[in-house]
Structure 1
Amino acid sequence: MIQYNKIIFTGPVGAGKTTAITSISDVPPIKTDELATDMTKNRKGSTTVALDYGVMILPGGEKIHLYGTPGQERFDFMWDILTTGGIGLVLLLDNTRADPFQDLRFFLNKFSGFIKDTSLVVGVTQMDIRATPVLSDYHKQFVGTGLNPPIFEVDARRKKDVSLLVQALLYSIDPGLEDQ
């Protein structure tokens, strides 16, 4: 029996959501990028305004539907729409941003209800450009939160890195998966 599952990718502008979905999708992804016209243009030329969409096809035909949220808070109305029916959240954080821990807290707060009902994995991008904070610093941010998500250094352009994030998320949802 083929199942259809939905994973959400979120994070601040420029963290690699569109790139991650593009690198892992087994079908040409749908992107809703538009020319950046606000302060976002200082980080990149275009920005996601609605969603990114791709599909991973697992051995046996099971499909994982991948949805990327816009990173700008002004498009947050899409966040609730996209998380409906989702099974887990991939939070991508850009290590080169001024305060990636502020971004972490912001997205944990905004998606707290969804995370409570599903699972979370964190991917930190751009660590090759800025090595600090290190992964252990990110782990410390979860002390006392009741959350202990897997946290990885990732290059969103590398299918292997993004696959690891998705696998970790799926294993956290169903630890018995690795026995199959």
Structure 2
Amino acid sequence: MSEHVILFAGPMGAGKTTAIRALSEIEVVSTEATNSDQAAAAKATTTVALDYGEISVNEAEKVRLYGVPGQKRFDFMWTILAERAEGVILLVNADAENPVETAIEYVKEFFALYERGGIVIGLTRADLVPTALIEEYANALADEMPDVMIPVFTVDGRSNADMTVLLMTLVANVELKQAIAPTLSRRAR
């Protein structure tokens, strides 16, 4: 059986744990602790190490889902969990302060995973924002990183269907990069 390792990243409260729970076919392993930073996100608990779930794409393919903590003080876990990862689903609260800048910061932080397999952005809580933001994010990413193409979707992190679209988009990207990597290596010689 082949498998993929996918990270879920983004700021605290963006919906990473919820998204993994929406997708996982096994009981999600979570490392939640009492949230001591209510100013950053008004929620009772926060991830302090990781969330873990699994989903089978088909009989021959499994995806391991790892959620990283959203708080920068736990960013050492980002490095540890990114070592085996092939791509990242970046979740950003569309109704947060400076969400476009936040998305760009996280893309830069996880850019090695873009090069390895891909990044897909899911805008959560977009229903609370008066305008459609996909174009704004796409334009900001194009201005900041003109040679980078990152799909952007509005999603409900609680929705299995929405999260499956994000996951399958990323898995397709990863598999495409893996398929063409040998060709690119031969051309580089």
With the length of structure 2 as denominator, give the TM-score of the two structures: 0.87
The runs of at least 4 consecutive aligned structure 1 residues that moved more than 6 Å come to none
What per-residue deviation string (whole Å, max 9, x for no partner) do you get for residues 22-67 of structure 1?
Answer: 0000000011111111245752111100000000012214210000
For 2:30, give the aligned amino acid: K
Inter-partner Cα distance in structure 1 for 2:51 and 2:97:
25
Once the two structures are TM-superposed, the CA of residue 148 in structure 1 deviates from its matched residue by: 1.1
Unaligned stretches of 5+ residues in structure 2: 178-189
Task: State the SS of the aligned residue for 1:174.
Answer: helix
Once the two structures are TM-superposed, the CA of residue 107 in structure 1 deviates from its matched residue by: 0.7
| 1:68-79 correspondence to structure 2 within 5 Å | 68-79=67-78
- Mean Cα displacement is larger for which, 167-176 or 73-82? 167-176
Task: State the SS of the aligned residue for 2:18.
Answer: helix
For 1:73, give the aligned amino acid: K
Preserved contact between residue 117 and residue 173 of structure 2 (Cα < 8 Å): no
Residue 103 (structure 1) aligns with:
102
| 1:25-104 correspondence to structure 2 within 5 Å | 25-40=24-39, 42-104=41-103
Q: Percent identity?
A: 34
Inter-partner Cα distance in structure 2 for 1:150 and 1:160:
17
Residues 41, 106 of structure 1: CA spacing in aligned structure 2 closer, same or farther, 3 A cutoff?
A: closer
Residue 172 (structure 2) aligns with:
171
* Higher gyration radius (CA): 2
With the length of structure 1 as denominator, give the TM-score of the two structures: 0.91
| Aligned-residue RMSD, C-alpha | 1.6
For 1:30, give the aligned amino acid: V
Inter-partner Cα distance in structure 2 for 1:41 and 1:167:
30
Residue 118 (structure 2) aligns with:
119
Task: State the SS of the aligned residue for 1:92.
Answer: strand
Task: State the SS of the aligned residue for 2:55.
Answer: strand
